[in-house]
Amino acid sequence: MTVDRYIHIFAGSFILISLALGVDASPLFVSHWWLAFTAFVGANLFQFGITNFCPMGYFLKKLGVPESNMACQK
């Protein structure tokens, strides 16, 4: 797997987990403060779109995860 795929998997997982823990209708509800985590992930994705810098991508590259060299693949 590549850095891009890991970032998408982690961001999607964190959003789904924080929604499950922060929405009243969820059977896993803990606190509304979990929605702040969803906002943090969204803000980080927005920041990446503008600056093209992702802190998680930086650490994954340092750990030796390969980068994707194809822009679009089907």
The structural domains of the chain, with segments of one domain joined by +, span 3-62
The pLDDT, as a whole number, for residue 74 is 45
pTM for the whole thing?
A: 0.81
- Whether the Cβ atoms of residue 65 and residue 6 lie closer than 8 Å to each other: yes
The pLDDT, as a whole number, for residue 68 is 80
Collect the ranges in the chain with pLDDT lower than 70: 70-74
DSSP states along the chain:
--HHHHHHHHHHHHHHHHHHHH-TTSTT---TTHHHHHHHHHHHHHHHHHH---HHHHHHHHTTPPPP--S---
